[in-house]
Amino acid sequence: MKESFQSLFKPFVFANGVRLSNRIVMAPMTHSSSNADGTVSEAELRYYARRAGNAGMVITGSAAVAPNGGFPGSAAADRDELIPGLSALAAAIQGKGAKAVLQIAHGGRKCPPFIPDIVSASPVPEREGAVVPRELAEEEIRAIVRAFGEATRRAIQAGFDGVEIHGANGFLIQQFFSPHANRRNDKWGGSLENRMAFPLDVIREVKRVAALHADKPFVIGYRLTPEETLTPGITLADTLELVEAIAAERLDYLHVSQNDFWSVPNGESGGRTYVEIIQERAGGQIPVIGAGSIRAAEEAVRALQSGIPLIALGRELVMEPDWLEKIAQGRENEIRTTLSRHDQHRLAIPDPLWGIIMRVPGWFPVEPEA
């Protein structure tokens, strides 16, 4: 292995003592491959196990905390009968040496239109022509906060090493934070402080439940999207206020969700990326995970050199499950950065995910047929 790549293999220890064997995290990705009832499928287990040996930590795709908060083909964590399947998923990941983190989520207005009872902070559709969600009442908001706590309890009972609260990608938690989705005039909306109330209540409930039920250190992370393109939308200034509030809650990590690690905010004269700005604001208090279009080993090393302690890979680990292993063996030139149309079974990619990859142009770089 080249000496310049050694930083990728340096262990990382969270403040609570949980130790990762390296600096690579498998990012949460939609795979649409759970069973229709929200239980974990055998194909899903094979998919994660195939990749877990090349990451210090694996964050699963989102698991719904409520019956009306999920997506077809996504796992659920909204009832106790799902714990055995979740336990199998945690074990499949941990069996390869990685820490297993369950992402917990509610889709809110992003849920597909055929889901009964689409809800959000306010009755504002995501885009023109989309379903107008029903505004959540006070008691329903409290119930969803408790649902995040209950999903955390189930993750603990299933043997996961942690949970990631999904506050990114336009899901319900982000909807409460967003001035586009949240037009409320009560204590849950209006001012920036009020729009932060729901995310912070979810964080505190997850922490409370973890302290009550976990008998060993348990990782709690939070994923966010730095800005919205919607008008009005979340600004970077808004996000930095939320970042400081999250850091004050002493979570174990903050995961920045974006398509390109090196994205720079409009008007940023210094050329600093979103991730670097967030790292500068809160990195001394909470570890930051950066993600987005990192393919080669050199790119990951450069990302770490920016000061970010952990790098998340999503599509790259789908295309190349042996990414870290090949670097360790000095075979980094053999890392695959495209998909052949004949790769599905070799890479243990479930049928639903493979179908989406083939149908959505540009999501993955797919080699043309010969």
Tens digits of residue pLDDT in 195-204: 999 999 999 9
In the predicted model, is pLDDT for residue 270 greater than 90? no
What's the total number of domains in the chain?
A: 1
The pLDDT of residue 55: 98
Mean pLDDT, residues 248-261 taken together = 96
CATH at 30: 3.20.20.70
In the predicted model, is pLDDT for residue 267 greater than 80? no
pLDDT-derived band at 325 (thresholds 50, 70, 90) equals very high
Mean pLDDT, residues 224-253 taken together = 96
Is-contact 165 222, C-beta < 8 A?
yes
Mean pLDDT, residues 340-356 taken together = 96
Packing angle of the helix pair 42-52, 83-94 (nearest 10 deg): 30
Helix, strand, coil shares of the chain as percentages rounded to 5? 35, 15, 50
- Examine residue 351 and state whether it is found in any structural domain, yes or no: no
- Examine residue 117 and state whether it is found in any structural domain, yes or no: yes
Is-contact 274 264, C-beta < 8 A?
yes
In the predicted model, is pLDDT for residue 284 greater than 80? yes
Two structure tokens written together for 319: 């295309």
The pLDDT of residue 70: 96
List the one residue out of 241, 234, 230 whose CA is nearest residue 278. 241
The pLDDT of residue 262: 94
d(CA 279, CA 341): 39
Residue type, 287: P
Average pLDDT, the chain: 96
In the predicted model, is pLDDT for residue 215 greater than 70? yes
pLDDT-derived band at 269 (thresholds 50, 70, 90) equals low
- Examine residue 367 and state whether it is found in any structural domain, yes or no: no
- Examine residue 217 and state whether it is found in any structural domain, yes or no: yes
In the predicted model, is pLDDT for residue 90 greater than 90? yes
- Examine residue 368 and state whether it is found in any structural domain, yes or no: no
The pLDDT of residue 112: 95
The pLDDT of residue 370: 66
Mean pLDDT, residues 75-102 taken together = 98
List the one residue out of 76, 94, 2, 78 whose CA is nearest residue 39. 76
Domain that holds residue 54: 3-339
- Examine residue 362 and state whether it is found in any structural domain, yes or no: no
- Examine residue 270 and state whether it is found in any structural domain, yes or no: yes
Mean pLDDT, residues 9-18 taken together = 98
In the predicted model, is pLDDT for residue 227 greater than 70? yes
Residue owning tokens 């996000």: 239
Mean pLDDT, residues 13-18 taken together = 97
Among 88-102, 232-246, 269-283, the range scoring the smallest mean pLDDT is: 269-283
Residue owning tokens 């795979």: 31
- Examine residue 344 and state whether it is found in any structural domain, yes or no: no
List Cβ neighbours of 127 (8 Å cut-off, separation of 6 or more): none
In the predicted model, is pLDDT for residue 207 greater than 70? yes
In the predicted model, is pLDDT for residue 142 greater than 90? yes
pTM of the model: 0.97
